[in-house]
Chains A and B, each alone.
Chain A
Amino acid sequence: MKSLQDLFRRKPTIETEVDEELTFHIDMQAGDYESQGISRERSRTMAESRFGNVSQIKKECVRIGSGNTFLIWILDAVFMMSLVMGLLLRLIGFEMHVNRVGDVMMMIGGLGILLVYAKQCGAYVFHSTPRKPLGLNTPPIAFDDKGRTPFDRVRGDD
């Protein structure tokens, strides 16, 4: 029910997505450190330190990723206005040509809204369905005897 509400409120899922994506990255990095025998706490700290300023990066990604959401919102508004104006013309227009303009506007508005929502629904359905792996083949990380990655070594972290 909550998901349905989110869909129709156009609640920005971008924040959740970015959050999930960045968390995944840090978790994977920490997991790789852990698998090399580094303690869980230290692995987490190292992974976060390696990633950088998470909140700033998240904010930046949300700002960039919100562009499409804004465009959809604008499209939605335009189609909605077209539908309402068409309806009004149809209701108050007495002459035949005014009625036709109203019909066309209603049709454009209605179809547009339908398309925008269909796209949203499609994105929502595909977003919610986990898919098969796409053939990721990440080579293993080479750790030295101090548990440092090549990345740590070039940063001069001892």
Chain B
Amino acid sequence: MRTNRTDIMQGTLELLILKTLSREPMHGYGIAQRIHQTVDDLLKVEDGSLYPALYRMEARGWIASEWGASENNRRAKFYKLTRAGRTQLDAQSVNWERVSRAVMRVLGAT
């Protein structure tokens, strides 16, 4: 049986990544796991779609990466939030709340 779930909106994945990395540096797999567990059945987030988003965000300077050793001692690329990324997270969070409030207001008006 297919559960009701929503494809992730453009730009939302970036916000989820920023929020996830605001807690601690993580490798891509860790970010994917954390997001899946947090959004659970509500949003559809493809594992693979995470990486182009990570590379785009790194190119914009929102996150930085370095190679390190994973929990099983394998070489892995760890991402961490930069100062620009934290600013971006704050701005996107405020924007997201504003948009969702506006939509809820429209939905509640009828």
Contacts and interface: CB of A to CB of B under 8 A. Distances in A.
Nearest to A130: B69
Interface residues of A, number: 43
Interface string B1-27: 111010000000000000000001111
A57 B24 CA distance: 25
A9 interface: no
B67 A130 contact: yes
Nearest to A60: B52
A154 to B, nearest CB: 5
Contacts of B52: 57, 60-61, 64
Contacts of B72: 28, 31
Given A51-B47, A54-B48, A64-B59, A130 B2 contact: no
Contacts of B34: 138-139
B44 interface: yes
Contact of A133 (B36, B40, B70): B70
B79 to A, nearest CB: 9
A28 B75 CA distance: 12
B78 A134 contact: yes
A67 B72 CA distance: 31
Nearest to B52: A60
Contacts of B28: 21, 24-25
A156 B1 contact: yes
A51 B47 CA distance: 5
A3 to B, nearest CB: 15
A156 B59 contact: no
B6 to A, nearest CB: 10
A91 B74 CA distance: 54
Contacts of A135: 24-25
B44 A29 contact: no
A9 B30 CA distance: 34
Interface of A: 17-18, 20-22, 24-25, 27-29, 31, 50-54, 57, 60-61, 64-65, 67-68, 126-127, 130-139, 141, 149-151, 153-156
